[in-house]
């Protein structure tokens, strides 16, 4: 219970404050959109750029961290895709959007602050390794799957798919921030202190502003749509994904810090980007929105369970 009070509730209280402000009319939809645009297009990309620029994998890096986390992600996408198509009889485009909801964990807005509050800032080095690949891998899978489905529907030649996928990915600010940070790291770039100080100002605002804005976004998303599909998204996101990460991480001997980051990040509900993806293609938007809302609320309890299971 103490872990719930000390680690998880402060994060969700900030989200709740944004939700309450929107509910009572003190935080308009345009203000929510502006804050989320600031965090997702500017502040969080700055955070990811700095993290990747300074990331030192070193001799302690264990590739099983990536395998443990992303095996669960890909499995979740597959279960969501096939479940949406064959269990709930959705068309393939809806099924891809449902699969994306089961694929894209809220690794930044929830994974980072909860891990930091639970284990300290130094624990985030493993989170940043996961986050560095998160948007490229997840958007790569989701966009590729959706473009393949649409190409088959429209009779588009497969040779045009790679260009369409790359254009869609590199319009994403998170992918751009990660890519620039990786380039700066590989070049061992020395950035002047005045610029890093400016980056730090942006970074300090990123997570609290994103959490508050997320509350406003969740208020807008009423729990509508197919509750059986939403239940599948919750089970895959909050149980199956972290269970796979925990099992593989334990079997492969991940260090305690890497195991904690892999499991806690996997245990987060779907991120706002799942709705962004659904909205971008105009498919399964109500399901995606409701999945974000309900899984985020349920993760208050499931994250506490996973924290109690971790060493």
DSSP 105: B
231: three-class secondary structure by DSSP: helix
List the single range of 73-82, 128-137, 169-178 with lowest mean pLDDT.
169-178
Percent of the chain with pLDDT over 70: 94
* Cβ-contact 214, 272 below 8 angstroms: yes
Q: Alpha-carbon distance 157 to 155, whole Å?
A: 7
Q: Which of 264, 301, 272 is CA-nearest to residue 213?
A: 272
Q: What is the pLDDT of residue 54?
A: 80
Q: Which pLDDT band holds residue 159 (cuts at 50, 70, 90)?
A: confident
Q: What is the pLDDT of residue 233?
A: 97
Q: Give the structural domain span for 115.
A: 50-192+224-309
Mean pLDDT on 135-141:
85
Does any domain span residue 87? yes
Cβ contacts of residue 67 below 8 Å, gap of 6+?
A: 248, 252
Does any domain span residue 56? yes
Q: What is the pLDDT of residue 53?
A: 87
Does any domain span residue 197? no
Q: Alpha-carbon distance 117 to 197, whole Å?
A: 24
Q: What angle is formed at CA 123 by the lines to CA 120 and CA 128, rounded to 5 degrees?
A: 125
Which token pair is 70? 């992303």
Residue 224 reports pLDDT greater than 70: no
Residue 267 reports pLDDT greater than 90: yes
Q: What is the pLDDT of residue 100?
A: 97
Phi, psi for residue 270 in degrees, rounded to 5: -60, 140
pLDDT tens track for 271-311: 888 887 887 788 988 888 888 888 988 988 898 899 999 99
Which residue in the block uniquely carries the two structure tokens 């891998």? 137
Q: What is the pLDDT of residue 13?
A: 87
Mean pLDDT on 233-250:
97
Which token pair is 207? 């997570």
Half-sphere exposure of 90 (CA within 13 A, CB side): 22
Q: Which of 176, 175, 181, 215 is CA-nearest to residue 196?
A: 181
Does any domain span residue 255? yes
Transcribe 234-274 into DSSP letters. HHIIIIIHHHHHHHHHHHTT--HHHHHHHHHHHTS-B-HHH
Q: What is the domain count for the chain?
A: 1
Burial bucket for residue 41 (CB in 10 Å: 0-12, 13-18, 19+): middle
Q: Alpha-carbon distance 182 to 187, whole Å?
A: 9
Helices 241-251, 285-309: crossing angle, 10 deg rounding: 40
104: three-class secondary structure by DSSP: coil
Burial bucket for residue 153 (CB in 10 Å: 0-12, 13-18, 19+): exposed
Q: What is the 3-state secondary structure (H, E, C) of 32-87?
A: HHHHHHHHHHHHHHHHHHHHHHHCCCCCCCCCHHHHHHHHHHHHHHHHHHHHHHHH
* Cβ-contact 23, 219 below 8 angstroms: yes
Q: What is the pLDDT of residue 60?
A: 61
Residue 4 reports pLDDT greater than 60: no
Q: Which pLDDT band holds residue 171 (cuts at 50, 70, 90)?
A: confident
Q: Alpha-carbon distance 98 to 82, whole Å?
A: 9
Does any domain span residue 37? no
Does any domain span residue 15? no
Q: Alpha-carbon distance 164 to 171, whole Å?
A: 11
Q: Which pLDDT band holds residue 193 (cuts at 50, 70, 90)?
A: very high
């Amino acid at each position: 219970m103490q872990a719930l009070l000390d680690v998880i509730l402060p994060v969700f209280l900030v989200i709740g404050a944004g939700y309450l402000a929107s509910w009572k009319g003190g935080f308009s939809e345009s203000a929510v959109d502006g804050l989320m645009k600031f965090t997702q297009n500017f502040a969080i990309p700055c955070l990811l750029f700095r993290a990747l620029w300074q990331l030192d994998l070193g001799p302690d890096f264990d590739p099983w961290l990536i395998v443990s986390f992303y095996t669960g992600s890909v499995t979740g996408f597959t279960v969501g895709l096939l479940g949406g198509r064959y269990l709930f009889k959705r068309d393939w485009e809806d099924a891809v959007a449902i699969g994306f909801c089961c694929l894209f964990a809220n690794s930044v807005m929830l994974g980072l602050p909860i891990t930091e509050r639970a284990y300290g800032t130094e624990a985030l080095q493993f989170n940043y390794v996961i986050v560095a690949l998160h948007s490229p891998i997840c958007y790569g899978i989701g966009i590729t799957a959706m473009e393949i489905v649409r190409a088959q529907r429209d009779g588009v030649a497969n040779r045009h798919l790679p260009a369409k996928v790359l254009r869609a990915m590199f319009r994403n600010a998170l992918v751009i921030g990660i890519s620039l940070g990786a380039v700066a790291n590989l070049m061992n770039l020395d950035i002047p202190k005045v610029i890093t100080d400016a980056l730090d100002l942006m970074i300090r605002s990123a997570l609290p502003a994103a959490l508050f804005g997320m509350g406003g976004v969740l208020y807008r998303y009423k729990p509508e749509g197919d509750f059986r599909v939403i239940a599948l998204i919750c089970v895959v996101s909050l149980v199956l994904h972290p269970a796979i990460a925990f099992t593989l991480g334990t079997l492969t001997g991940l260090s305690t810090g890497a195991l904690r980051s892999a499991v806690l990040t996997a245990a987060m509900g779907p991120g706002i980007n799942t709705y962004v993806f659904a909205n971008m293609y105009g498919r399964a938007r109500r399901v995606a929105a409701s999945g974000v809302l309900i899984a985020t609320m349920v993760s208050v309890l499931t994250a506490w369970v996973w924290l109690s299971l971790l060493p």
